[in-house]
Structure 1
Amino acid sequence: MTMRLLAGLAALCSALLCGLATPAPAVAAEQAFRIGIAPHTSARVIIEQYQPVRRAVEAALGRPVEIVTAPDFTAFARRAMDQEYDIAVTTGHQAEMLRKDAGYLPLLTYKADFRAVVVTAAKGPYRTAASLAGTTVLGLSPSSLVTLWGQHWLAGQKLPGIQLRYVSAADSVAQLILAGDASAGFMSLANRAKLAPEVQAQLSTIAESRPMAGRVYMLNGREAAVADPLRKALFAFGETAEGKAYFDANQLDGYRTVSDEELEAMEPLSDEVRSVLKAGK
């Protein structure tokens, strides 16, 4: 019995020693740097569209980078507030909320004006603002900049009986209008220009906003140390052939800096996003 016990203890000690000598597991792969893009169109299009930016950021940081989005603008705002993105690319009203409430830092924006438009079917019966009374109008989500602008525009027209319906993306807005399921819809001028030429030809614009702070790159405060090198790298990317092709393809005209004052001007609409998030919509 004693000999068996001693043998067992020896085997156990040997196993423990072997276990200690076993090489440690490989260190987990470095977590990807996440660039969140507000869902202005389908996830597939967003991921394809931002591949040149992903490659430029990846080269600048020397770490994996992934492009992600969210089901709608409200979900995107909530995820950004929950610190899920290292960079959040979103319109000025959400950017201001992230700056003020969640510690994000403005990096840059695009040179091209950002405008919202109200579109209808070119050959349909809805040719004027007054003709929309009593109809269904489409927005992207309660916290989308184009939707908030559109709701204010509708309120200014004092149109009775409007039913506002939310859909996922600008191409869905166009399809539903052309199918006769809605009289009009809100989208950005840039997204209107990205629709297929045959779809664009079937739409008419009946109202257009003034320029607003468009897609702003907001850096999560936890990554503040890379703000200056990242900004320089993005501007340098804009001067490359790939960068210029990216701007041309998406009618963005290049990058420019964005000021705190420019974002502060969006504060009234930022408050509306806060209300949407608080209501849990």
Structure 2
Amino acid sequence: MRQVFDWIGRVLIVSGIAIAVAQLAEARAQPAPLQFGVLPNLSARVIVESYQPFRTYLERRLGRAVEIVTAPSFKAYHANLMAGKYDLAVTAANLGRLAEIDAGHHVFAIYEPPIPGIVAVLRAKQIKSPAELRGKVLALANPQSLVAMKGMEWFAAQGLHAGTDFTTLHARNDDSLAQVLGSGEAPMAMMSLGEFRAIREELRKDLEILVEFVRVPGFLALTGNHIEKSLAASIRDAVIELARHPEGEEFFRRSGFKAIRAVEQTELATLDSVLAETRRLMSQP
């Protein structure tokens, strides 16, 4: 009888080892989650909520887990992008073009429509003209963004130069911009229309748009230069076809974007005039 129990015990042990080995092999066979980087132009909360349908769609199309990741700042995000930490990434047009030229990543799509750049003010202040910024403070959350770069050019065309005619204040995020206006630290804040809309309603209701000064190209989507060509092609096809699926409709509803389409190299070349300034801004401490 003891021999029988010993034999049964050995069988159970061997079976347990076999099951464990099989489970380990299965776990190893599962690909690592796809790293989907999203530019931190909005708070992490808003980004995750907006991109959840996009993530669900990609997981279904690609048959693997997808993680939405971002970073604390434009600079940190861009550093991660240049280092190849994202398999799929969405970033500002100037930063995407820079990642293509300087790091060899592959830009394949652009978000629509173009992004409006605006100046917002506190409604109660009754500010009527950008000229009222002279000698005061301009708040902005993302000084390395294309909207901010074009905004500084626009203010300069109005005879207002940063560092000479006004100073700048860096706010942490979209809600912080509203709080800076409300506290009186700055009479004006420069941002994209998307950032303005992302401000919580209880804060945004006290603000108004003073002027829309530019429309810049939308965000660019790119694949990292480190991923296999077949995976990159699958990602590109999935992203371009997003609008045909229910998850795409929900993503566009939540985010305010209207479409994601293939981008031409001739379009990307129009961004080259701002690359030197972009490099300078990204290299600053």
**TM-score, normalization by structure 2:** 0.83
Query: Would the alpha carbon gap of residues 250 and 39 (structure 1) be closer, same or farther in structure 2, given more than 3 Å must change?
Result: same
Once the two structures are superposed, residues 164-220 of structure 1 have per-residue CA deviations (whole angstroms, 9 ceiling, x without a partner) of: 111222221122112212111111112222334443332222232332211111111
- Structure 2 contact 122–182 (Cα < 8 Å) conserved: yes
The residue that corresponds to 2:7 in the other structure is: none
Once the two structures are superposed, residues 99-142 of structure 1 have per-residue CA deviations (whole angstroms, 9 ceiling, x without a partner) of: 11111112322222212111111221533111001111112233
The residue that corresponds to 1:136 in the other structure is: 137
The residue that corresponds to 1:113 in the other structure is: 114
* 2:216 counterpart (209, 212, 219): 212
Paired AA for residue 67 in structure 2: E
Pair 1:162 & 2:163 matched: no
- Structure 1 contact 41–168 (Cα < 8 Å) conserved: no
User: Residues of 2 paired with 1:107 and 1:192: CA distance?
Assistant: 27
The residue that corresponds to 1:47 in the other structure is: 48
User: Residues of 1 paired with 2:44 and 2:156: CA distance?
Assistant: 31
- Structure 1 contact 41–171 (Cα < 8 Å) conserved: no
Pair 1:101 & 2:102 matched: yes
User: Residues of 2 paired with 1:111 and 1:199: CA distance?
Assistant: 27
The residue that corresponds to 1:259 in the other structure is: 264
The residue that corresponds to 1:171 in the other structure is: 175
Deviation at residue 31 of structure 1 after TM alignment: 2.1
The residue that corresponds to 1:246 in the other structure is: 251
Deviation at residue 277 of structure 1 after TM alignment: 3.0
SS of corresponding position for 1:50: helix
Pair 1:66 & 2:70 matched: no
Percent of aligned positions that are identical: 28
SS of corresponding position for 1:221: coil
Structure 1, 67-76 or 156-165: larger mean CA deviation: 156-165
Q: Name structure 2 gaps, 5 residues minimum.
A: 1-16
Paired AA for residue 261 in structure 1: T
The residue that corresponds to 1:13 in the other structure is: none
RMSD: 2.3
Paired AA for residue 244 in structure 1: E
Paired AA for residue 81 in structure 1: M
- Structure 1 contact 213–263 (Cα < 8 Å) conserved: no
**TM-score, normalization by structure 1:** 0.84
The residue that corresponds to 1:229 in the other structure is: 234
Q: Name structure 1 gaps, 5 residues minimum.
A: 1-20
